[in-house]
Chains A and B, each alone.
Chain A
Amino acid sequence: MTRREWIALIGAAPVLKAADAPAAPVSIARCASYDEDVTAKLAALFDQLGGIEGLVRNKTVTIKLNMTGSPGTRVQGQAPGVTHYTHPKLVGATAHLLGRAGARRIRFVESAWATGGPLEEVMLDSGWNVRALQSAATGVEFENTNALGKAKRYSRFKVPGSAYMYPAFDLNHSYEDTDVFVSLAKLKNHATCGVTLSLKNCFGNTPASIYGDDAGADEPNESPTKGRGEVLHRGARQPSKSAPQELHFGSSHEAEYRVPRIVADLVAARPIHLAIIDGVESIAGGEGPWIRGVRMVKPGVLIAGLNPVCTDAVAAAVMGYNPRAVRGTAPFRKCDNTLLLAEAHGVGTTDLKRIEVRGVPIEQAVCRYDS
């Protein structure tokens, strides 16, 4: 690490806890296409992690999906599952395996773009077979966490220690009414954050009813129709006053500074117990079709781990990146490194030397996203 990188890293992480941050094994499996036996591949990953029965038996499990953007906006007309959404086959396989491992209730969540309507309808609009998902396990539920949803109040999640941006977040009840929280992400680049993996996936935990451009000034707007550009990306306004306000409002309007920190705060406040990353088919160059120059890629991998920072570190390495790269270095050319910021929060280590990789070695799984 150069002196410049070190200074940048110090600047990015107020309280560096890299050495203390926990480490956990991460598994990689090859899966060349969604036509393969995705369930068997995922089951093997879970086995390599020591099994998931102990984690989920008789528990409520909430799975945060990645369904970013409108389902109508597509890359070359392709189904979103093969480009920028987590693929429905992997979603179904996850539910099936969690059910088989004894999960009592499995709730799929996502803050669907620009709507507070049922998540099932967004899934249908994405070409997903909702009935198949419902029958993948017993007790399958769906909740659009972009608004209050099925609860009467929002749940408050405090950021432990020194928060970067927000002292706490008000989120849909699903993030609280659960024993286990799973981030089921996609292996992608991100225009603002360099990469979007299991950590960045949780940016979507935030409801647009409170953090959206048309959020109410005082109270949440339960019919949100917009994204989160004004509040979270640009810091042009505060969230609804009913929710905890930004700590140093006005100090930064740079999305590349703000979003990585908000994500780090979110994953510290709402810990992830299991991270699964869909790298079977994906896109490189951005997180969705609205980013110019995205291209379809087929890394042909599935990655899972019990620590999201460790999992993302391995995933970033699979993408051909140094997970500890600092601002100015690929893939964090214009932004701060979310992984390092989460590491500094004590969520997990990015140090590949401390992370045991099981299954396919990183060097055999690499698919360079920048090539």
Chain B
Amino acid sequence: MWMRALRWGAVLGLVPFLHAAAPQPSDWVPMRWPWSDPASLELLSGTPINCLLLKTASPEFVEAAAGRGLVTLAVIAPGGDVVGAARRAMAAKVTGIALEGDFPEGIAAGVKETAGGAPVIELTARGRMPLGSNTAILGTYQGVWPGIAVEEDGAKKVAPTGSAWIDTNTGFIRAVRAWGDATLWIANQPPPQTVITGARYLQAIADAAICGARWVLALDHDFAARLARRDAKTMADWERMADLLRYFEQHPEWRRMREYAKLAIVQDPAKGGLVSGGILDMIAARHTPVRPIPRQRLTSEALAGATMAVNVDADALTPEQKEVLRNFTRSGGMLLTGPPGWKDPSPPGDRITFEKAELERLDDIWREVNAMVGRGNMGVRLFNVSSMLSNLLASEDGKTAVVHLVNYSDYPVENVAVHFPAEYQRATLSTPEGVVKSLEIYPTEEGWGVDIDKVSVCATIKLEQQHDP
């Protein structure tokens, strides 16, 4: 009897430490867990994944996960007794609930009440996300599957630069991040009936991470089956995925940095601002840094540091917002507005990409944007990056900036050149493969330049202002 009491005492004594070790929602690294066998959790050893989204949450599994310090979220979809499902999940002692889909009004509130203070993450359509709210995690089940776009006939789609077009969520993520500090989860799943290589998973992870979001890791059935039987090649892919996640999770400061660009784009989330493949992504495809500003948050402060601005839907602005833009031009900023009567095409319903006719409408403004930006350095210029996308982030004091690069091709890219402004005098390259090295800088027309020999999936160049001793 006294031995049992001693054991309980020891366990209870650990509770405060276990509680202290529980990650905050903003630190959750999520994955849709396809297995219900507690033994499957062994796969997580050594990975930074600490939050499991479960379709079925058995008490045994949840207990085993909790024993490993893992957060568990029961995924509940619309239909049936949602509140009852939430009650059953909470009874199984999950950490919280993930509501995935678009629920009738009041359901989310009912689930939150049932959860009794436990976290409830809502994975909604993009257009239904509570932008600007104080929720810790914003989530959506909608996302494009990142990668080089291929036409039906097998040919690669071409971007405005003449390069292959890259499907990406980065523009959408930047548009959401412009609303505040909530952590964004992209919870789209791999396209069905498609062979997803390990490299494609890496691209999906990096596509979200370079903009400070997290892709909710989701394995296709085939990959999951191979992983479950510990297939050697699949295990190697799995380890690379873990390495890549760890790479980004080891740098929480990157997530706190803000998008930096001398080019700002004013867009309304309700009018195409949350669509993938729109103007924001088209500019990014030219490797031009661009900073989205939601129309609703257009202020002089939001435009600070910008030298060019694109006002996509001029008619939507309030008189006060128009005055902000007038002041921007009075102080030397260059402003491009859409052609008279032109409106940002907004896809109907919950569609997140444009169709051909809508893209053709975008051409009207794209040509002007292209001409205005020209060869200008909007924060950084990148060369030999046709199969890549990038993101430029800067610390609040501006003394540090990072340039993230993601390679979406199946081949490493060699000889990338990066030109950056003169205020940064030190450059360091880091990669998920463990490379950390100081780069030799050389003068360029616009400041300095560095060369990167090779980029496999992604790389980061940290730029720093040099301080006198």
Residues of A within 8 A of B (CB): 69-74, 76-79, 113-114, 117-118, 121, 124-129, 131, 223
Q: Give bound CA distance, A117 to B445, whole Å.
A: 14
> B163 to chain A: which residues have CB within 8 Å?
70, 72-73
With both chains docked as a complex, state the minimum distance between the C-beta of A252 and any C-beta of chain B, in angstroms.
Answer: 28
Chain B minimum-CB-distance residue to A289 = B156
Q: Are B451 and A125 within 8 A (Cβ)? A: no
Q: Give bound CA distance, A59 to B162, whole Å.
A: 37
**In terms of DSSP, what is the predominant structure of the interface of chain A?**
loop
Q: Are B415 and A129 within 8 A (Cβ)? A: yes
Q: Please, how many residues of chain B have a CB less than 8 angstroms from a CB on the other chain?
A: 23
Most chain-A CB neighbours within 10 Å: which of B163, B384, B410, B414?
B384
Kindly identify, within residues 96 to 123 of chain B, every residue whose CB is under 8 Å from any CB belonging to chain A: none
Q: Are B442 and A131 within 8 A (Cβ)? A: yes
Q: Give bound CA distance, A118 to B444, whole Å.
A: 13
Within 8 Å by CB of B162, from A114, A121, A126, lies A114
Q: Are B375 and A70 within 8 A (Cβ)? A: no
With both chains docked as a complex, state the minimum distance between the C-beta of B445 and any C-beta of chain A, in angstroms.
Answer: 9
Q: Are A128 and B415 within 8 A (Cβ)? A: yes
Given contacts A70-B162, A129-B451, contact A79 B414 (CB under 8 A): yes
Q: Give bound CA distance, A121 to B375, whole Å.
A: 10
Q: Give bound CA distance, A114 to B370, whole Å.
A: 13
With both chains docked as a complex, state the minimum distance between the C-beta of B101 and any C-beta of chain A, in angstroms.
Answer: 38
Q: Are B411 and A77 within 8 A (Cβ)? A: yes
Kindly identify, within residues 410 to 431 of chain B, every residue whose CB is under 8 Å from any CB belonging to chain A: 410-411, 413-417
Given contacts A125-B386, A126-B384, A129-B451, contact A72 B375 (CB under 8 A): no
> B442 to chain A: which residues have CB within 8 Å?
131
Given contacts A77-B409, A77-B410, A125-B383, contact A72 B415 (CB under 8 A): no
Chain B minimum-CB-distance residue to A76 = B411
With both chains docked as a complex, state the minimum distance between the C-beta of B442 and any C-beta of chain A, in angstroms.
Answer: 6
Q: Give bound CA distance, A118 to B375, whole Å.
A: 10
Most chain-A CB neighbours within 10 Å: which of B162, B375, B416, B451?
B162
> B375 to chain A: which residues have CB within 8 Å?
117-118, 121
> A118 to chain B: which residues have CB within 8 Å?
375
Given contacts A76-B411, A77-B410, contact A127 B384 (CB under 8 A): yes
Within 8 Å by CB of B161, from A70, A76, A127, A129, lies A70
Kindly identify, within residues 362 to 407 of chain B, every residue whose CB is under 8 Å from any CB belonging to chain A: 371, 375, 383-387
> A125 to chain B: which residues have CB within 8 Å?
383-386
Q: Give bound CA distance, A125 to B381, whole Å.
A: 11
Within 8 Å by CB of A127, from B158, B159, B164, B414, lies B414
5 contacts between A and B (CB under 8 A): A71-B386, A121-B383, A127-B414, A128-B415, A129-B415
Chain A minimum-CB-distance residue to B407 = A77
Q: Are B451 and A72 within 8 A (Cβ)? A: no
> B162 to chain A: which residues have CB within 8 Å?
69-70, 72-73, 113-114
Chain A minimum-CB-distance residue to B409 = A77
Q: Give bound CA distance, A125 to B417, whole Å.
A: 8
Given contacts A125-B383, A125-B386, A127-B384, contact A72 B164 (CB under 8 A): yes
> A73 to chain B: which residues have CB within 8 Å?
158, 162-164, 386
> A131 to chain B: which residues have CB within 8 Å?
442
Within 8 Å by CB of B417, from A72, A79, A114, A124, lies A124
List the 5 closest A-B pairs by CB distance, nearest first.
A72-B386, A72-B163, A70-B162, A124-B383, A77-B411
Q: Give bound CA distance, A78 to B411, whole Å.
A: 8
> B417 to chain A: which residues have CB within 8 Å?
124
Q: Give bound CA distance, A127 to B417, whole Å.
A: 8
> A124 to chain B: which residues have CB within 8 Å?
383-384, 417
With both chains docked as a complex, state the minimum distance between the C-beta of A299 and any C-beta of chain B, in angstroms.
Answer: 22
Q: Are A79 and B415 within 8 A (Cβ)? A: yes
With both chains docked as a complex, state the minimum distance between the C-beta of A183 and any C-beta of chain B, in angstroms.
Answer: 24
Kindly identify, within residues 316 to 349 of chain B, every residue whose CB is under 8 Å from any CB belonging to chain A: none
> B414 to chain A: which residues have CB within 8 Å?
79, 127
Chain B minimum-CB-distance residue to A88 = B415
Chain B minimum-CB-distance residue to A118 = B375
Q: Give bound CA distance, A200 to B162, whole Å.
A: 23
With both chains docked as a complex, state the minimum distance between the C-beta of B197 and any C-beta of chain A, in angstroms.
Answer: 14
Q: Are B415 and A77 within 8 A (Cβ)? A: no
Q: Are A127 and B415 within 8 A (Cβ)? A: yes
Q: Are B384 and A71 within 8 A (Cβ)? A: yes
New A-B contacts (20) at CB < 8 Å, excluding given A72-B162, A117-B375: A70-B161, A70-B163, A72-B386, A73-B162, A73-B163, A73-B164, A73-B386, A77-B410, A114-B162, A118-B375, A121-B375, A124-B383, A124-B384, A125-B383, A125-B386, A126-B384, A127-B384, A128-B415, A129-B451, A131-B442
